[in-house]
Amino acid sequence: MGTNRGDRVALAAVGLGRWGRVMAAAYRSSPVVELRTCYTRDPERRARFAADHSCAAEESYEALLARDDIDGVVLTVPNDQHAPMIEAAAAAGKHVYVEKPVAVAPADIRRIAEAVRSSGIVFACGHSARRLAGVREMRRRLEAGELGQPSLVEAIFSNERGLELKDGDWRGDPAQCPGGPLTQLGIHQIDNLNYLFGVPRRVMGIGRRGAVAVQNTMVVAALLEFDGVAGYLGADWLTPGAFTIDLYGSKARLRYDLDFSWWSNSADTDAHTSLREVAIATDSADPDGRVLAERAVPLAPRDHLREEIEEFALATRGEATVEVNLDVAIANVAVVLSVARAIDERRQVEVAEVLAELGA
Amino acid sequence: MGTNRGDRVALAAVGLGRWGRVMAAAYRSSPVVELRTCYTRDPERRARFAADHSCAAEESYEALLARDDIDGVVLTVPNDQHAPMIEAAAAAGKHVYVEKPVAVAPADIRRIAEAVRSSGIVFACGHSARRLAGVREMRRRLEAGELGQPSLVEAIFSNERGLELKDGDWRGDPAQCPGGPLTQLGIHQIDNLNYLFGVPRRVMGIGRRGAVAVQNTMVVAALLEFDGVAGYLGADWLTPGAFTIDLYGSKARLRYDLDFSWWSNSADTDAHTSLREVAIATDSADPDGRVLAERAVPLAPRDHLREEIEEFALATRGEATVEVNLDVAIANVAVVLSVARAIDERRQVEVAEVLAELGA
């Protein structure tokens, strides 16, 4: 593993598209990490990135992995490149942070799992939504018993991206993007639900195509059966953006609402969210006499993207534990694939069935 | 049929419990109807009701039906009495308004359908939620194309009533109350969804019991496949009240929210609701540049309970058409029974399968 300049963990950014730049902006000012070098195929783009971030740039991924002063790579590359690039990183002893979903092809998932496990590298998958202040507060209240016994949870993520898909877009290909918005949007909420209630046992779903030029699912409505609560997941690519979580407990219910257009500005995302609690304010033996009260729950802002990179960096030194590790990342994909299968085959699917196929 | 005093349609209130009194309060000042007489088994209760409403009172249901100056009956009696009491009213040529659900036992539904159809009486079932100003406005916008193409709809109705169920309560009996809150709460939203999108073709569901003294389902999460949109229905008896409808269209989405504690004050219910629209306010070729705007939709208050009684009354004279007629009422119950079956048998259920069993 690399030698660090000072105390900071040395990272390399790989894949310098929109998301790679968003991530770098989120962690560049972190005292925990140093963005030391970068790589993408386009020489002009990597030169610009290197200039913007005062880092080096490599002429190949192999050259980057050959550097002995790099601790880990931050991979923001197309999904079908995850498996070979993680294998190469693992072979070079570099720790890996990779964007969600870890992979959607079962063969890719098995390759990644083998590479990570046999090499012993630290592996983190980018599922930052669970680090939003409101999502953390939901779980804190749940665990503290402040909601009473939970019974139902509903999570929705939608945007209008499917309305403009062109023929040939990878998002329109069921193999690359199973369930359409389920893989791209729903997986964020699947991880949030995993964070709150674990992996569901059984799922079912409805999918719709919608009038666009591609053959993929554009709308998903799914039921997720967790231990102890019933769950609903909506993922819709044909409507203006929505990102909400409703959690119903015996003492109170919570509604979380996020303006996703602030997602990439991770230091400001929490400022564009709200968490509201509804509880019985005036109780009465007569149900008609009961009065509900709604109030805003104050949230201390965090930085969801920076936090996950910092956790990853610290974990490379044994100073933190990765929350969304390989098992969690694979479980999230297993839920995606289970719902996609439930829709295709018009039946209820046990998530264990898919997990077994993924070797998990 | 009866002779009317002046222009008004003469009604008799039958079953004078809490809901019978709420209904009478809603229509007593209507210029369309006259509450002429009443009946319930308890002599004291009917005397008090007669005094409160300046109407007569009958010593038996048979005596009430024998009056030739009564046009119709408003039945607010326990569900298992619907079939025999509707049969008796139909035999006496009295029109019938009955509370939802029309019946839950298939044999009762078949008896009611036979009585209504063979007698030719006007029949209306109390599903007033579709008359709420916000629900009407949702459909108006949908039909006017203001939402663009709809893709997904979600409806939730919850309250805490299940937390205090005692052993022996009829609500705890799956035969009398299939799906628990599905029959008592969910059916309101099933009718709203029917009003917006018709009868779903196929349903699936998850049910949970919760830690209460009875053996019935306390939480239901269901998927409803409509022609053209995917639907979700949540009905939860273990949490503070919620009544919301989210409708997602390609141009805009709508969120309707009702404080159900104002339900019984039907002239004021709409004042305790909100309808909010979210649409893209600033468009951009770059998805990250798009800005959403949320705004309140103004709603002109209506009176959901009074309106349905007035419609029923006018329909007895051929001056209106009953919106929630026998077919609609039976279709709503068919959806309830389909979801309950989907939960029990852990499979997807075609609503046509249940409709056929109900003879519909």
pLDDT of chain B, 360 residues: tens digit per residue: 444 445 899 999 999 999 999 999 999 989 999 999 999 999 999 999 999 999 999 999 999 999 999 999 999 999 999 999 999 999 999 999 999 999 999 999 999 999 999 999 999 999 999 999 999 999 999 999 999 999 999 999 999 999 989 988 999 999 999 999 999 999 999 999 999 999 999 999 999 997 777 889 999 999 999 998 999 999 999 999 999 999 999 999 999 999 988 999 999 999 999 999 999 888 888 877 888 999 999 999 999 999 999 999 999 999 999 999 999 999 999 999 999 999 999 999 999 999 999 988
B220 touches chain A (CB under 8 A): yes
B151 touches chain A (CB under 8 A): yes
Q: What share of chain A is helix, strand, coil (3-state, %, to 5)?
A: 40, 25, 35
Q: What are phi and psi of A225, to 5 degrees?
A: -95, 110
CA B266 to chain centre: 14
Chain A contacts of B250, Cβ < 8 Å? 160, 163, 238-239
DSSP state of A102: S
B166 touches chain A (CB under 8 A): no
Report pLDDT for A6.
59
Q: Could B156 and A159 be called an inter-chain contact, meaning their C-beta atoms sit closer than 8 Å?
A: no
Q: Are strands A291-296 and B33-39 parallel, antiparallel or unpaired?
A: unpaired
A130-149 residues touching B, CB cutoff 8 A: 149
Report pLDDT for B1.
42
Distance from CA of A125 to the nearest CA of B (A): 23
Q: Global pTM?
A: 0.96
Report pLDDT for B6.
59
User: How is residue B302 written in tokens?
Assistant: 């209506």
pLDDT tens digits, residue range A41-56? 999 999 999 999 999 9
User: How is residue A52 written in tokens?
Assistant: 């913007």
What ipTM was assigned to the predicted interfaces of this complex? Answer: 0.95
Report pLDDT for A61.
98
Spatial separation of the C-alpha atoms in residues B181 and B172, rounded to whole Å: 10
Chain B contacts of A249, Cβ < 8 Å? 239
Nearest CB to B151 within list A219, A261, A348:
A219
A256 touches chain B (CB under 8 A): no
Nearest CB to B230 within list A221, A240, A251:
A221
Nearest CB to B292 within list A210, A241, A264:
A241
Question: For residue A268, is pLDDT > 80?
Answer: yes
Question: For residue A318, is pLDDT > 60?
Answer: yes
Q: Which domains does chain B have, with CATH numbers?
A: 9-128+307-322 (3.40.50.720), 133-304+334-350 (3.30.360.10)
B88 touches chain A (CB under 8 A): no
| pLDDT band (50, 70, 90) for residue A3 | very low
Q: Could A230 and B248 be called an inter-chain contact, meaning their C-beta atoms sit closer than 8 Å?
A: no
Q: How many other CB atoms are found less than 10 A from the CB of residue A204?
A: 27
Nearest CB to B230 within list A219, A251, A253:
A219
Nearest CB to B208 within list A151, A222, A239:
A151
pLDDT tens digits, residue range A161-216? 999 899 889 999 999 999 999 999 999 999 999 999 999 999 999 999 977 778 89
Q: Could B208 and A253 be called an inter-chain contact, meaning their C-beta atoms sit closer than 8 Å?
A: no
Distance from CA of B35 to the nearest CA of A (A): 25
Q: Could A206 and B221 be called an inter-chain contact, meaning their C-beta atoms sit closer than 8 Å?
A: no
Q: Could A250 and B242 be called an inter-chain contact, meaning their C-beta atoms sit closer than 8 Å?
A: no
Chain B contacts of A151, Cβ < 8 Å? 208, 210, 218-219, 236, 238-239
Q: Which of B142, B152, B263 best tests the A interface by mutation, with the highest count of A CBs <10 A? A: B152
Q: Could B220 and A230 be called an inter-chain contact, meaning their C-beta atoms sit closer than 8 Å?
A: yes
Taking CA–CA distances from B232, the nearest residue in chain A reads A221
Long-range contacts of B291-300 (CB under 8 A, 24+ apart): B291/A261, B292/A240, B292/A241, B292/A259, B292/A261, B297/B134, B297/B137, B297/B254, B299/B133, B299/B134, B299/B137, B299/B270, B299/B273, B299/B275, B300/B133
Q: Which of A160, A206, A209, A226 best tests the B interface by mutation, with the highest count of B CBs <10 A? A: A206
From the list B45, B266, B278, B239, the residue with the least C-alpha distance to A259 is: B278
Q: Could A253 and B240 be called an inter-chain contact, meaning their C-beta atoms sit closer than 8 Å?
A: yes
Q: What percent of chain A has pLDDT over 70?
A: 98
Q: Could B250 and A242 be called an inter-chain contact, meaning their C-beta atoms sit closer than 8 Å?
A: no
Q: Which of B154, B197, B206 best tests the A interface by mutation, with the highest count of A CBs <10 A? A: B206
Taking CA–CA distances from A203, the nearest residue in chain B reads B206
B156 touches chain A (CB under 8 A): yes
Residue A153: partners with Cβ closer than 8 Å, 6 or more residues away: A193, A196, A197, A226, A229, A230, A231, A232, A245, A246, A247, A248
Q: Looking at residues A299-326, what average pLDDT do you find?
A: 97
Q: Could B151 and A218 be called an inter-chain contact, meaning their C-beta atoms sit closer than 8 Å?
A: yes
What value does the mean pLDDT of chain A take?
95
What is the length of chain B?
360
Report pLDDT for A214.
82
